Amino acid sequence: MDTDTGTRPGTAQRWTAVLALAAGAAAALVLLVCAGLRSIALLGLGVAGLAVAAAGVWWALTRRGLLRVLASTLAAMAPIVVLLLYVWAGLLWVVLVSLGLWALAISAGGAALGKDTQRARAPGVRTAPPQRPFLIMNPRSGGGKVGRFRLQERAEELGAEVHLLDTAHHEDVVALARSAVHNGADLLGVAGGDGTQAMVAAVAAEHGIPFMVISAGTRNHFALDLGLDRDDPASCLDALTDGVELRVDLGSINGRAFVNNASFGTYASVVQSPAYRNDKVHTTLEMLPDLLTHQRGPRLTVRVAGTAIDGPQAVLVSNNPYRMGDPAGLGRRDELDSGVLGVLGITVDNAAQAAGILAGRHGPGLTVLTAREVVVDADEPEIQAGVDGEALTLPTPVRCTIQPHALRVRLPRHRPGVPRAKPPMDWRRLRRLAWAGDHPATGGEAAR
């Protein structure tokens, strides 16, 4: 999101833009002046080395035995051979200096364009504190964060009723939440993993009462995208006394709610293998050849708003799209209330497509879409899926939908917020910042 306010760029921002442009020009000049026409060959050789390495990785994942060893060797040796050729031609220093200058240009350009680096924190709506909050806590979640941060004691001191799950026996958290609402609870909350969060959130959404997230899970992806402090789950309890409410979307897969994502294909099949828990690496390497080449597992077909993805090896359907343009922000969502699902499909049938994945979101094997509804079908009556970290087997076709603004989330008024996405590199805007001193371009202008 562009955060320009229409003010002139500051001195530091202008000089950072100048540095980015100068470093980028110097990177090109070093190649042209020191290598001449050979600079084109240098670039081509580097791209070819990356493509061969990617192909080697593909062959290593889809083969076994000696062929896997040979493919792994190829993937490792390709970049080494490229470097040796640079040394033989006496141009290694040219390449290294050019790469260093280019890295400086990208870093400085990102700093100049991303002058507003503060975290985004939606203000929310101030509401009265709940009178009868009910919290479900999993003492094992996150390696024992409930006990380590004294979450039960602190919540009870703030007037909440806390149910500590019995980890020795299965407890139905949906039934617990429904019973609490029947008995007068006006807020539901969870200190646990995202799968448990989703199930209780669905009950809160059904009854129109607020839901509270306590970041006591292992990864806490939902908490991250809500801007909560994942390092201090106790700070989430401030929402009980000094909180605000946000309306966010809720995903649904065959009628079951999810707050983060649902994955299908290779990853979902591997993690549900009985052997995966005891030996993750060996199990993954043993299963991948058959899964990636469609010799094992169902063949998927994904239908998204008139677009069909045929035979993808992996599909991720998310409650709001994940970032794609910011490598540091992968796995994060800038919005939780856009009203659309994010869809990421990966189709790699050969080494050439594996090399093409290097093109990023524009690669031929990568499909990135958004939609209100996604249907995942297969040539088998059931498929495996990972839903918010939970392993499920679902009848086909699987229908994923989104419920816009279905969930009222109560958050602490004071919280870290979500790191902003880095703006895309825009050399024209850098030139304006550096030389003209004009007002920074708006988001729409920069996009053009």
- For 56-111, the DSSP string reads HHHHHHH--HHHHHHHHHHHHHHHHHHHHHHHHTT-HHHHHHHHHHHHHHHHHHHH
Tokens in use for 273?
């293998």
DSSP 385-438: EEETTEEEEEESSEEEEEEEEEEEEEEESS---BPPPPPPP-HHHHHIIIII-P
Both tokens assigned to 400? 């994923």
What's the CA gap between 160 and 214, in Å, rounded?
13
CB 221 within 8 A of CB 322: no
Tokens 């509804």 — which residue?
373
Q: Which two tokens stand for residue 432?
A: 């304006």
Q: Averaged in consecutive runs of 10 residues, what is the pLDDT profile of the chain (448 residues)?
A: 47 86 88 74 82 86 87 90 85 86 88 64 82 96 94 96 92 96 97 94 97 92 92 95 95 96 81 62 66 73 91 92 65 89 86 64 76 95 90 94 97 83 78 65 40
Output phi, psi for 148, to 5 deg.
-65, -35
**CB-side neighbour CA atoms (13 Å) of 199:** 17
User: Is 31 in contact with 102 (CB distance < 8 Å)?
Assistant: no
| Nearest Cα to Cα of residue 211 among 160, 169, 246 | 246
Please tell me what DSSP assigns to residue 439: P
- For residue 153, the model assigns a pLDDT of 96
**Spatial separation of the C-alpha atoms in residues 255 and 253, rounded to whole Å:** 5
Residue among 177, 221, 165, 141 nearest 388 (CA): 221
pLDDT reported for residue 285 = 67
Integer-rounded Cα Rg, in Å, for the chain is 25
Six token digits for residue 44: 């081509």
Q: What is the distance between the terminal CA atoms of the chain, rounded to a whole angstrom?
A: 14
- Residue 301: CB atoms within 10 A of its CB come to 18
Pairing of strands 133-137, 161-164: parallel
Which residues face 261 on adjacent strands? 318
Task: Pick the closest to residue 108 from 427, 401, 354 (CA basis).
Answer: 427
- pLDDT, residue 337, reads 94
- Here the tokens at position 404 are 């816009």
298 to 64, 225, 230, 276, 375: CA distances (angstroms): 21, 32, 37, 19, 15
Q: How far apart are alpha carbons 298 and 291 in whole angstroms?
A: 9
**DSSP per residue, 110-144:** HHHHT---SPB----EE-PPPSSEEEEE-TTGGGT
Q: What is d(CA 251, CA 339) in angstroms, rounded to the nearest whole number?
A: 10
Tokens 């580097």 correspond to 46
Q: Please say whether the beta carbons of 381 and 375 come within 8 A.
A: no
H-type alpha helices, 219-313: 221-225, 266-271, 280-292
Structure tokens at 64: 């076994």
